[in-house]
Amino acid sequence: MEAARSDEVIRAGELEIRPDDALVLAAGRPLNLSVREYGVLVALARRAPRIVSREQLSSIVWDHPLRAGDRSVDVYVHKVRSKLERALPDVRFIHTHVGFGYRFAAEPPLHGFHTDATTR
């Protein structure tokens, strides 16, 4: 897991994360995240704009190396995505880099030259 630095506030678009309070605000409204969901989101957001591998996410959030066949990271990325999308439908926050991992950034869905299916 990670230590919280005091006064830390992460903003990305309409999203605001306050690791000190374990609080996440979407357009000002609190998001209800479980411990794991929150861990994944903060781990990614803190490392933005870098790509974080599943192995790293496992160490950071689960405190143990990723076991072969373990899909829990994927599952939780999916859960976080769902909740974020429900709160802020017009922005994508978690981006997949196949073979590398996930990257956090507030970007419009399916726009721009790096998210296009023809460009992958």
Partner DNA sequence: ACGAGGCTTTCACATCCGTTTTACCGGTGG
Partner DNA sequence: CCACCGGTAAAACGGATGTGAAAGCCTCGT
Binder of a second copy out of 10, 14, 16, 51 (CB under 8 A): 51
Query: Which residue in this structure is represented by tokens 């409204």?
Result: 29
| CA-to-CA separations, 6 to 3, 35, 96, 112, in angstroms, rounded | 9, 19, 30, 35
Using CB under 8 A as the binding rule, whether residue 71 contacts a second copy is answered as: no
Which of a second copy, DNA, none does 10 bind, CB closer than 5 to 8 A by kind?
none
Pairing status of strand 15-18 against strand 10-12:
antiparallel
| CA-to-CA separations, 97 to 31, 63, 65, 101, in angstroms, rounded | 26, 23, 20, 5
Alpha carbons 34 and 103: distance in angstroms, whole number? 20
Length of the chain in terms of residues written: 120
Which 1-40 positions form the footprint of DNA (CB under 7 A)? 32, 34-37
Least distance to a second copy, CB of residue 51, Å:
5
Residues forming contacts to DNA in the complex (CB under 7 A) are: 32, 34-37, 54, 62, 69-72, 74-78, 81-82, 96, 98-101, 114, 116-118, 120
Residues forming contacts to a second copy in the complex (CB under 8 A) are: 18, 21-23, 26, 29-32, 34-35, 38, 49-51, 82-83, 86-87, 95, 97-101, 103, 105, 112-115, 119-120
